[in-house]
Amino acid sequence: MSPEEAKAQAAMFRAIGPHPNVVSFFGTVPIPASGWSDAFVGLVLEYCSGGCIASETKVSHEELKQSALDIASALDRVHSVNVLHRDIKPENILVSKNGTYKLADFGIACRGISDQFCGTPGCIAPEVWNGDGLSTDMSDCFSFGVVLAEIAPARNALIEQLMDWRSEERPMPQMVIHAIKSESDSESDPFLESESEPYQDSDSDLMA
């Protein structure tokens, strides 16, 4: 990542401080330019050998309970120092060797409430997606609820509603379309011409 991006993430980790349910941050490492890459800066982070919970189709009731407690503890610390994660999703919840769940990836985190549209479609809170409100700590909590619903071993009415939101096709938010148009030199941009088409949710799409 760029030095500016590394500096921003390092600042977030330092603000949060050590916490058993947040991936540990050890520092940054400058990577010199090579024949195939420009110079960049890497973050030195804790290795979680259990991977992310996105690789798990379902978890047991006990694992669901433990993941909820662990990440709720992480969010409590994060929010207590006025940091918003803004991209809570299965890929950003890692599992350590001893089974502890840890919150990772503060690449689009910010200090305080935010009016910027960012996050992963399907996990973004409705008020943020629809442009009706700001990103707050409650937006993070909604995204966390979507994650729990996805890995839950059983279904109830609330979980079904969350999963409907997770999988629903919906038009791209107008605020995003307008922002793209304002930066575009051409009305014929094929990306803009498709604005009326439903936006297909994808865990791999990160919108910032």
Catalytic residues: 87
Burial of 198 (0-12, 13-18, 19+ CB in 10 A): exposed
Beta bridge partners of 102: 94
Cα separation of 30 and 75, whole Å?
Answer: 30
8 Å CB contact between 109 and 169? no
Cα separation of 118 and 178, whole Å?
Answer: 15
Strands (E), 56-149: 83-84, 93-95, 101-103, 110-111
Residue 126: which of 113, 148, 141, 110 has the closest Cα? 141
Cα separation of 101 and 143, whole Å?
Answer: 16
Continuous segment of H or E residues that includes residue 28 = strand 25-31
User: What is the C-alpha end-to-end distance of the chain, expressed in Å?
Assistant: 15
